[in-house]
Structure 1
């Protein structure tokens, strides 16, 4: 099991050059080979940033993705018409200066044909990343939780392909099982499943959305965890992380609330060895639910915010880590940002220098707390 006391969640800010290159490619002004060079350059810079900050774990910054979950829809046929809004809908909250981010679920969204994989989702990401990190850095790949794609099944548009949501999610799960098996074959040691939709169950509106697709929200959560575990069981030799947050786009968020209502089924039932939990402000509640985490797991505390340039101090972070240790053993705690810095091409309101300083502070704090 990966036992590092520092971690990263996944995404980093896309460089302006990469964003322009994506626009040029989509408009037919840039060919595939030139675009791949721009992606490679962005990944190289992301790896340097993380390693220079002293992080034990590094991702490719999700530079090759439109959104943290878009690799599925980009690599698999059958999802029908979608764009960035397919991943951004919801009642986003936060700094009013960022504008109105309340978005309805796109009316056209809905899987339209049986899913068929055209390519692996993240194998390219891993193979390139593995060749770029140093020998002391663990390369990590992030994948979406299967049940996150429930929003792509529509009772009106999707029933010809999948009469029931369960059948659709079974195919999504199998695609992800094949993915992690291939990653394991290629030498991956650490894979993270992103499950921001589980904390969203703290919101009555989100609960109603899932319950409208059948069953109570607790049943829905239990079934989702079963699917997550099925993905992880496809590669038993890999360390799996499991990331929970409350929404993260453009420095906005979706819900608030303590982990307690969802802690027991997630913390106790998931087979992931590392739980990456958002804890950067009071919206996440207390550390008390950590007492429900089994002894065979590590908890990665997301104490450093990615939503603002505010720089936490090592002293304050160490104090919070020791507070968490009142509920879970210190040696099985670790430190990370609360989420990615840019979970889609819509980055948070921070700079690359903010990212650098925050990651360096995580390293400094870890050295202070764990030596």
Structure 2
């Protein structure tokens, strides 16, 4: 990896639009016309295609597009020991309605499963990448296990004891991915973004919002306390991304003094594609010379390409709060946080990513990964 810095000047959150061949294959599996093994072969073929495409558009970090997942978080979490998937009475609440109904909950003591399928998936993915780019792995943040309704209070009446098990579980997760060859790991975190949304009632009867903000910081920092020096870990703070819809609004003001100032990650992927995100003032809490800030100024929710001069102006505005050399550029979220995908075409998706690479080269030089 040399002197390259992660996150890269031109980066992306991770998920990509699933092609129709995968949608059809999954339907065929559900209806008994196709085997799970055949589905996996189709997914692998499509992952190879989109890895090539990411490299073609100039990205230095590539993902598997999350092509083997239904949802960005539940597929990973339900394979931890003590966590199960289930179909709730309602889906997640979004502005235009609810999502497809599926969620996770704690059913026993939480720990890492050494046979977690995501480890095998990453090993296969890295072979596909074959050193042509950095293989980036995205997983839900440990803090997603603190989402309301997940903790079983009969099993974990004390939230601090629950936190201790979650921390150890994710320490084991981090080490397993590192052993598998991962050097770029991203924690996706709707929960922390939600802590900064004033309209979300986070007081769960026994815990205040301020306490939860402090706990969220402890969880991530203790997970990363002993991480290898050559493993880069970033976090993406998301306000919901489902079929081009969003779940909540709110600036980062409430969490910035604690999480932006003290979270020991290598970079923050922050959503700044519309007015729901607030201004850039919270960026001033990020230490100078500390984590890079990946500004999600390019929306993944619709296909129209942004005005280059508008994006330049916004980056200049952000650089008044944090040094220009700490800034990177990406879409505000993935293009398909769930298997449904956002409302744009695959060609528009690639144009967005190509646009980010080209603009980053113009702003920071031809080698977009270096200072």
TM above 0.5, one fold?
Answer: yes
Out of 199, 206, 217, the residue aligned to residue 209 of structure 2 is 217
Per the alignment, residue 315 of structure 2 pairs with 321
Helix, strand or coil at the partner of 2:190:
coil
Query: How big is each residue's C-alpha offset from its partner over 1:107-157, in whole Å with a ceiling of 9 and x where there is no partner?
Result: x964223346262252223222222226452111111111212237467xx
Q: Is the 8 A contact 1:290 1:327 kept in 2?
A: yes
Q: Is the 8 A contact 1:200 1:254 kept in 2?
A: no
Q: Is the 8 A contact 2:147 2:191 kept in 1?
A: no
TM-score (norm 2): 0.88
Per the alignment, residue 65 of structure 2 pairs with 61
TM-score (norm 1): 0.88
Structure 1 residues 14, 166: CA separation in 2 closer, same or farther (over 3 Å shift)?
Answer: farther
Structure with greater helix share of residues: 1
- Residues 220-299 of structure 1: pairs in structure 2 closer than 5 A: 220-237=212-229, 238-295=231-288, 296-299=290-293
Helix, strand or coil at the partner of 2:137:
strand
Query: How big is each residue's C-alpha offset from its partner over 1:259-302, in whole Å with a ceiling of 9 and x where there is no partner?
Result: 12211111111100111111111211111221111122211111
Distance 1:189 1:163 in 2: 36
Structure 1 residues 221, 359: CA separation in 2 closer, same or farther (over 3 Å shift)?
Answer: same
Offset of 1:196 from its aligned partner? 1.6
Per the alignment, residue 37 of structure 2 pairs with 33
* 32-41 vs 337-346, greater mean Cα deviation: 32-41
Per the alignment, residue 116 of structure 2 pairs with 120
Out of 345, 351, 355, the residue aligned to residue 345 of structure 2 is 351
Offset of 1:64 from its aligned partner? 1.1
Helix, strand or coil at the partner of 2:249:
coil
Structure 1 residues 150, 370: CA separation in 2 closer, same or farther (over 3 Å shift)?
Answer: same
**Over the residues paired in the alignment, what is the CA RMSD in angstroms?**
2.5
Q: Is the 8 A contact 1:2 1:190 kept in 2?
A: yes
Distance 1:73 1:109 in 2: 7
Is residue 157 of structure 2 the alignment partner of residue 163 of structure 1?
yes
Q: Is the 8 A contact 1:165 1:213 kept in 2?
A: no
Helix, strand or coil at the partner of 1:18:
helix
Offset of 1:75 from its aligned partner? 1.7
Per the alignment, residue 111 of structure 1 pairs with 106
Offset of 1:164 from its aligned partner? 3.6
Distance 1:68 1:85 in 2: 20
Offset of 1:83 from its aligned partner? 4.1
Structure 1 residues 134, 64: CA separation in 2 closer, same or farther (over 3 Å shift)?
Answer: same
Q: Is the 8 A contact 1:111 1:152 kept in 2?
A: no
Structure 2, unaligned runs of 5 or more? 366-371
Per the alignment, residue 368 of structure 2 pairs with none
* 267-276 vs 127-136, greater mean Cα deviation: 127-136
Query: How big is each residue's C-alpha offset from its partner over 1:181-222, in whole Å with a ceiling of 9 and x where there is no partner?
Result: 01112221111111122222233452x2x3115321011011
Is residue 141 of structure 2 the alignment partner of residue 145 of structure 1?
yes
Distance 1:19 1:83 in 2: 21
Distance 2:126 2:228 in 1: 20
Query: How big is each residue's C-alpha offset from its partner over 1:92-113, in whole Å with a ceiling of 9 and x where there is no partner?
Result: 12xxxxxx4146998x964223
Q: Is the 8 A contact 2:10 2:330 kept in 1?
A: yes
Helix, strand or coil at the partner of 2:297:
strand
Structure 1 residues 287, 136: CA separation in 2 closer, same or farther (over 3 Å shift)?
Answer: farther
Q: Is the 8 A contact 2:217 2:259 kept in 1?
A: yes
Offset of 1:252 from its aligned partner? 0.8
Q: Is the 8 A contact 1:112 1:160 kept in 2?
A: no
